[in-house]
């Protein structure tokens, strides 16, 4: 999907996403309050934040789906942006291949669609209907539909939130493989600190309309979980989210300092 709506402009080669002083209000409520964020080409950034902190609002702005952000701070994203949501949003009356290549034209579209389905482990299922697939398989098709467009930016809004733990961890491995191969910049919205650390090069936390933490993940892939460095990073992120490592809620002072309740 091209992202040229609202206040979006196209980025150059050195930056995939640049957001400067972004402001978005709904009525009296200022949800994004001078937010700054940049993402390099090929970089995988996970976005954490409490419920209602504005994660989806930011993602919609980057996807060009929010026309009201025009006139606030600078916002630039690549020409080719794909979005994956929590539900696969497949068209039930179209077969899988037709869902994947929807909107594409040219003699090679079907071949590219077949390749994309094979990449997500669904070779041979081109003529199946969405209703014949499990939730995880439907999400694979959604990934194939995104990647067949060779996006320079992949925006993912809780794409694995509705899946069981085993399917989710398989999808993590798949997404990592696909990103290594296609190298889009990625902004993944998630509630799950472990998911963020498992997948991302950098994890940012959105709080009170701004990025309150921006931490690189310097852990060896693919087995990042466990070990002191992992636990330390996880603890810092949970603290930023106002939760201690045992899952208890904390208060956060207005200056952003953590304070156990």
Footprint of ligand ATP on this chain (CB under 6 A)? 26, 31, 49, 51-57
| Minimum distance from residue 209 beta carbon to ligand ATP (Å) | 9
Asked if residue 92 lies in contact with residue 130, where contact means CB atoms within 8 angstroms, the answer is yes
Asked if residue 118 lies in contact with residue 100, where contact means CB atoms within 8 angstroms, the answer is no
Q: Which is nearer to ligand ATP, 6 or 54 (CB)?
A: 54
| Minimum distance from residue 65 beta carbon to ligand ATP (Å) | 11
| Minimum distance from residue 54 beta carbon to ligand ATP (Å) | 4
| Minimum distance from residue 62 beta carbon to ligand ATP (Å) | 12
Q: Which is nearer to ligand ATP, 26 or 93 (CB)?
A: 26
Q: Which is nearer to ligand ATP, 65 or 109 (CB)?
A: 65
Q: Which is nearer to ligand ATP, 54 or 113 (CB)?
A: 54
Asked if residue 77 lies in contact with residue 219, where contact means CB atoms within 8 angstroms, the answer is no
- Taking only Cα atoms into account, the Rg of the chain, rounded to an integer number of angstroms, comes to 19
Asked if residue 74 lies in contact with residue 19, where contact means CB atoms within 8 angstroms, the answer is yes
Between the two ends of the chain, the Cα-to-Cα distance in Å is 45
Complete DSSP assignment for 117-177? HHHTT-TT-TT--GGGS-HHHHHHHHHHHHHTT--SEEEEESTTTTS-HHHHHHHHHHHHH
| Minimum distance from residue 60 beta carbon to ligand ATP (Å) | 8
| 44-49 vs 185-189, strand pairing mode | parallel
| Minimum distance from residue 165 beta carbon to ligand ATP (Å) | 19
Q: Which is nearer to ligand ATP, 47 or 117 (CB)?
A: 47
Q: Which is nearer to ligand ATP, 178 or 197 (CB)?
A: 197
Could you give the CA distance from residue 78 to residue 2 in angstroms, rounded to a whole number? 8
């Amino acid at each position: 999907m091209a992202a040229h709506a609202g206040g979006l402009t196209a980025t150059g080669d050195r930056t995939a996403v640049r957001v400067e002083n972004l402001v978005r209000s709904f009525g009296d409520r200022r949800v994004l309050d001078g937010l700054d964020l940049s993402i390099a080409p090929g970089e995988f950034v996970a976005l954490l934040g409490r419920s209602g902190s504005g994660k989806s609002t930011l993602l919609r702005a980057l996807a060009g789906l929010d026309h009201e952000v025009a006139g606030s701070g600078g916002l630039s994203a690549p020409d080719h942006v794909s979005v994956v949501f929590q539900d696969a949003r497949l068209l039930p009356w179209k077969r899988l291949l037709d869902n994947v290549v929807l909107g594409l034209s040219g003699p090679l579209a079907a071949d590219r669609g077949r390749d994309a389905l094979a990449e997500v482990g669904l070779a041979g299922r081109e003529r199946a209907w969405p209703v014949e697939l499990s939730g995880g398989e439907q999400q694979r098709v959604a990934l194939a539909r995104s990647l067949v467009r060779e996006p320079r930016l992949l925006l993912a809004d809780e794409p694995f939130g509705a899946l069981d733990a085993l399917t989710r961890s398989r999808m993590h491995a798949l997404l990592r493989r696909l990103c290594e191969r296609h190298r889009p910049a990625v902004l993944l919205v998630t509630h799950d600190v472990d998911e963020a650390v498992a997948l991302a090069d950098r994890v940012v936390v959105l709080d009170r309309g701004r990025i309150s933490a921006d931490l690189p993940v310097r852990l060896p892939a693919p087995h990042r979980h466990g070990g002191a460095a992992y636990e330390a990073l996880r603890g810092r992120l949970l603290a930023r989210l106002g939760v201690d490592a045992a899952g208890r809620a904390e208060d956060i002072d207005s200056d952003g300092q953590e304070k156990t309740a």
